[in-house]
Amino acid sequence: MSRLARTLARSSLVLAVVLASAAAASAHSAEPAEGLGRTAVVLKPKVYDDLTAGGVEVTPLGRATLVPFRGTVKVKLPITAITETEIEHGGGIGFGSENADLSLRRLVIPASGIVTGRLRGSEIGDRGRANLFFQAESGSTLGDTSLRFTYSFALHVNSTFDTDFAELEVFGFFTTRRR
């Protein structure tokens, strides 16, 4: 094989490796997959009122969006993966006051059971993946399924923002729309 042919072959091989690496990185990026849908989380109006009365602002994180909704807020979380047993989300929900903050990211909603997410806060540090909410039937026009505080999440919110939420108290509601 001539020197030119060997150089071209090596260049082609390097280009193929670079393109394959870029494609793999794109397929495994932290960006949510497009077109899977969204889950809307609506805070219970009393929870939203209690938080805002204490100077706590609710904000979307990452690719989540937030809109006012029936006297409270709706946070729309992009779905990043769907399996037979759970739905994973990108973005998250932030809670912040002048002196403290708390964030819920990468929520995972199982077919039934406990909703988990990455929990981090100025007063509690990084808790990693934590049990946040119990799922229950809603009976509300605000969402298909209710989200009820776990004991530990209520404790973290209360210690961060001087609130008085209780285990099993309704935090909000969610509705998932797959595409």
pLDDT at 38 over 50: yes
Q: Is 82 exposed, middle or buried (0-12, 13-18, 19+ CB in 10 A)?
A: middle
Which is more confident, 131 or 25?
131
Position 34 confidence tier, pLDDT thresholds 50, 70, 90 = low
Q: What percent of the chain has pLDDT over 90?
A: 79
- 32: its two tokens: 């949510």
In this prediction, residue 179 carries a pLDDT of 87
168: phi > 0 → left, psi -120 to 50 → alpha, else beta; which?
Answer: left
What is the chain's length? 179
- The mean pLDDT value for 119-133 works out to 97
In this prediction, residue 35 carries a pLDDT of 77
Strands 170-178, 37-43: pairing is antiparallel
pLDDT at 14 over 60: no
In this prediction, residue 3 carries a pLDDT of 53
Name the β-bridge partners of 95. 58, 102
pLDDT at 62 over 80: yes
pLDDT tens digit sequence for 68-83: 999 999 999 999 999 9
**In the block, residue with structure tokens 């037979």:** 84
Task: List the single range of 15-24, 62-71, 104-113, 157-166 with lowest mean pLDDT.
Answer: 15-24
pLDDT tens digit sequence for 148-169: 999 999 999 999 999 999 999 9
In this prediction, residue 55 carries a pLDDT of 98
- 7: its two tokens: 């150089």
pLDDT at 116 over 50: yes
Kindly report whether the global pTM for this prediction surpasses the value 0.85. Answer: no
- Cβ-contact 123, 63 below 8 angstroms: no
pLDDT at 117 over 80: yes
For residue 146, give the amino acid letter.
Answer: S
